[in-house]
Amino acid sequence: MVSNDAASPGHAINNFHEARPCLVEACTTGDLEKVRILLDTYGQELVEGANDAFEFWCEALWGACQGGHMEAVRLLMRHGAFDRESLHAEDEKAFRLACSSGCVDLVRHLLQGEHGVDVNAMVPPDEDDRASGTLALSAACRGGHVEVVRLLLSLQGDRRMEVHAGGEDAFRDACSCGHVEVVRLLVSL
Domain finish residue from 87, 103, 120? 87
Rounded-to-integer distance, Cα 58 and Cα 55, Å: 5
What is the end-to-end Cα distance of the chain in Å, rounded? Answer: 56
pLDDT of residue 26: 96
Domain residues for the domain of 188 are: 95-189
**36-75 confidence digits (pLDDT tens):** 999 888 877 776 665 667 778 888 989 999 999 999 998 9
Tell me: do 99 and 189 sit in the same domain.
yes
pTM of this structure: 0.78
Tell me: do 144 and 175 sit in the same domain.
yes
Tell me: do 147 and 167 sit in the same domain.
yes
Alpha helices in the chain (DSSP H): 16-29, 32-48, 53-66, 70-78, 84-87, 89-101, 104-111, 136-143, 146-153, 170-176, 180-187
Tell me: do 123 and 63 sit in the same domain.
no
Bridge partner residues of 13 (DSSP): 2
In order along the chain (189 residues), what is the average pLDDT of each group of 10 residues? Answer: 46 74 94 93 72 78 93 86 66 86 92 72 56 72 94 78 63 89 87
Domain finish residue from 42, 71, 87? 87
